[in-house]
Chains A and B, each alone.
Chain A
Amino acid sequence: MGSRVIAGKEVQLTENGFLVDPQDWTREMALEIAKEEGIEIMTEAHWGIIDFCRQEGLEAGKAPSLRAIVNGTGVSMKALFELFPKSPDKKVALISGLRMAARCI
Chain B
Amino acid sequence: MKQLLILGAGTAGTTVANRLRKMLDSQAWGITIVDQDARHYYQPGFLFLPFGLYSQRDVMRPKTRFIPGGVELVLAQIEAIQPEQNRVRLVDGRSLSYDFLVIATGCRNDPEATPGMLEQEWRKSIFDFYTYEGAQALGEHLRTWDGGRLVVNIVDYPIKCPVAPLEFLMLSDWFFQKKGMRERVEITFVTPLEGAFNQPISSRYLGGILERKGVKVVPEFMVEHVDPDAKKLVAYDESEVAFDLLVTVPLNRGDAAINRSGLGDELDYVPVDMQTFQHPKHANIFVLGDAAALPTSKAGSVAHYATDCFSENFVRHLRGQSMQSRFDGHGTCFIESGFGKALMIDFNYEVEPLPGYYPLPGIGPFALLKESRLNHWGKLIFKDLYWSYLVKGHDLGVPPLMSMTGKRRETSEA
Contact = CB atoms under 8 A, between A and B. Distances in A.
| Interface magnitude class on chain B | 35 or more
Given A101-B295, A102-B295, A81 B414 contact: no
B198 interface: yes
A87 B236 contact: no
Contact of B236 (A16, A62, A71, A81): A81
Interface string A1-33: 100000000000011100000000000000000
Interface string B144-188: 000000000000111000110010000000000000000000000
| Interface magnitude class on chain A | 20 to 34
B349 to A, nearest CB: 8
Nearest to B113: A67
B237 A81 contact: yes
Interface in A21-55: none
Given A1-B413, A81-B236, A101-B295, A86 B156 contact: no
A67 B237 contact: no
A71 B266 contact: yes
A1 B192 CA distance: 25
Contact of A104 (B163, B267, B413): B163
Interface string A71-105: 10000011011100111011000000001011111
B222 A103 contact: no
A78 B224 CA distance: 8
Nearest to B200: A15
B347 interface: yes
B411 A77 contact: no
A86 B23 CA distance: 52
A89 B198 CA distance: 14
Contact of B414 (A67, A68, A99): A99
A14 B352 CA distance: 14
A71 B267 CA distance: 11
Contacts of A105: 162-163, 166, 197-199, 202, 206, 335, 345, 353
Contact of A15 (B197, B345, B353, B412): B412
Contacts of B237: 81-82, 85-86
A16 B414 contact: yes
Contacts of B265: 68
A67 B157 contact: no
A104 B347 contact: yes
Interface in B300-333: 331
Contacts of B60: none
B133 interface: no
Given A71-B266, A101-B295, A87 B353 contact: no
Contacts of B199: 103-105
Contacts of B295: 62, 101-102
Interface in B216-272: 220, 222, 224, 235-237, 265-267
A38 to B, nearest CB: 13
Contacts of B411: 1
A87 B193 CA distance: 8
A13 to B, nearest CB: 11
Interface in B192-219: 192-194, 197-200, 202, 206
Given A87-B220, A104-B199, A14 B413 contact: yes
A77 B236 contact: yes
Contacts of A90: 194
A87 B163 contact: no
B157 A101 contact: yes
A11 B347 CA distance: 28
Nearest to A99: B414
Q: Which 9 A-B pairs have the closest CB atoms?
A: A103-B198, A104-B162, A81-B236, A105-B202, A67-B266, A104-B297, A68-B266, A87-B220, A86-B220
Given A104-B347, A105-B206, 4 more contacts: A102-B352, A103-B157, A103-B162, A105-B353
Interface of B: 156-158, 162-163, 166, 192-194, 197-200, 202, 206, 220, 222, 224, 235-237, 265-267, 295-297, 331, 335, 345, 347, 349, 352-353, 411-414
